[in-house]
Amino acid sequence: MRAAPAMAETVPITIAVNGVERTGDAEPRTHLADFLRHHLGLTGTHIGCEHGVCGACTVLVDGETARSCLMFAVQANGRSITTIEGVAEADLLHPIQAALSKHHGLQCGYCTPGIVMTLIELQRDLAGEPITEPAVRKALSGNLCRCTGYQGMVDAALEVLNAGQDQEVRP
């Protein structure tokens, strides 16, 4: 193992987070999840593995989901990030959030921010088209949850994503 350089070089990083420009200094090796959490105080994005598998750290980067533990904060310079803190409107929860509560789609809440961001992208991608349960489950297969057994969040997703469909969606 090598020793660290004599001075830990930090770089200035400016990111638009939830529509607000935020600045901080961090070492290049600081990943985006740690930067959001500890430099910007946005602790809603959670870290579950730092290996890119569990999905708890999922945020939107320029509108697309990404594992924030697999991106260095410096790579997000000049980009636009959406985190869980930017989803609800002041008092009103986003329909996806409200549905998750209604259908008991969260228990400890640790994986929940990643689930919400994943479903937000899914909703946008569907652009009003209906979705089946197997497709929802596939879309959620990149997020690990140990508490809920997934059923509640699947039901929440089906309700919100198929809202406005005239007929029940058959697989």
Partner 1 sequence: MAQHAGEATDAPVSNGLGRSVQRIEDDALLRGRGRFVDDVALPGMLHAAFLRSPYAHGRLNRIDVTEAQVLPGVHRVFTYADLRAVLTSDRIPLAMPAGAIRFDVDPFVLARDEVCHVGEPVALVIADSRHIAEDALGLIAVDIEPLPAIVDPRGGLAEGAPKARLDCPDNLVARAAMQYGDIGRAFADAAHVVAEEFHLHKGGGHSIETRGVVARFDTAERMLTVWDSTQMPHQAKRVLVRSLGLGEHQVRVIAPDVGGGFGPKFVFHPEELAVAAASMLLGRPVKWIEDRFENFMATAQERNQFWTVEAAFDAQGRLLGIRGTLIHDHGAYTPYGVALPQNSGTNLLGPYVLPAYDLDIRLCLTNLVPATPTRGAGRPQGTFVMERLLDRAAVHFGLPREEIRSRNLIRADQMPYETPLRTRDGGLMVYDSGDYPECQRRALDVSDWAGFAERRAAAVRQGRYRGIGLANYVEGSGRGPFESAAVSIGPSGKVVVTTGATAQGQGTATMLAQLVAASLGLEASQISVIAGDTAASPLGLGAFASRQAVTAGNAVHQAAMQVRAKILAIASNALEIDESDLELMNGRVSLKGAPEMGMSFGQIAGSLAGLPGMALPKGATPGLAAAVDFQPKGMAYCNGTHVAEIEIDPATCSIIVERYTVVHDCGRLINPMMVDGQVLGGVVHGISSALFEWMSVDAQGQPQTCTYADYLLATADVVPRIDIHHMESPSPLNPLGIKGAGESGTIAASAVIASAIEDALSPLGVVVRELPMTPGRLHALMAKATRDGAAA
Partner 2 sequence: MKPAPFHYHAPSTRMEALQLLTELEDARVLAGGQSLVPMLNLRLAAPENLIDLNGVADLAGIVMEGRRLTIGAMTRQRHGERSGLVREACPLLAHALSHVGHQQTRNRGTIGGSIAHMDPTAELPVVACAMDAVVVLESARGTREVPFAQWSDGYLATAIGPGEIVAAIAFPCWPAGHGWAFEEVTRRGEGYSIVSVVALLSMGADGTVDRCAIAIGGLGAAPVRADAAEAVLTGVAPGDEAIAQAGEAASELEAEGDLYAHEAFKRHLAKQLTLRALRSARDRAHAGGTGHG
Chain residues that interact with partner 1, rule: CB under 8 A: 1-4, 6-8, 27, 29-30, 37-38, 41-51, 53-54, 56, 83-85, 87-88, 93, 97, 100-102, 104, 106-113, 116, 133-134, 136-138, 140-155
Token pair 């985006």 is found at 32
Residue 163's binding partner out of partner 2, partner 1, none, with CB under 5 to 8 Å set by partner kind = none
8 conformational bin, left if phi > 0, alpha if psi -120 to 50, beta if neither: beta
> What type of residue sits at position 41?
G
Residue 65's binding partner out of partner 1, partner 2, none, with CB under 5 to 8 Å set by partner kind = partner 2
Distance CA 106, CA 97 (A): 10
Q: Tell me if 101 sits within 8 A of 77, measured CB to CB.
A: no
Tell me whether residue 66 or residue 156 sits nearer to partner 2 (CB atom).
66
Tell me whether residue 36 or residue 76 sits nearer to partner 1 (CB atom).
36
Residue 70's binding partner out of partner 2, partner 1, none, with CB under 5 to 8 Å set by partner kind = partner 2
Q: Tell me if 71 sits within 8 A of 61, measured CB to CB.
A: yes
Q: Is 9 exposed, middle or buried (0-12, 13-18, 19+ CB in 10 A)?
A: exposed
Distance CA 74, CA 113 (A): 22
Tell me whether residue 28 or residue 78 sits nearer to partner 1 (CB atom).
28
Residue 31's binding partner out of partner 2, partner 1, none, with CB under 5 to 8 Å set by partner kind = partner 2
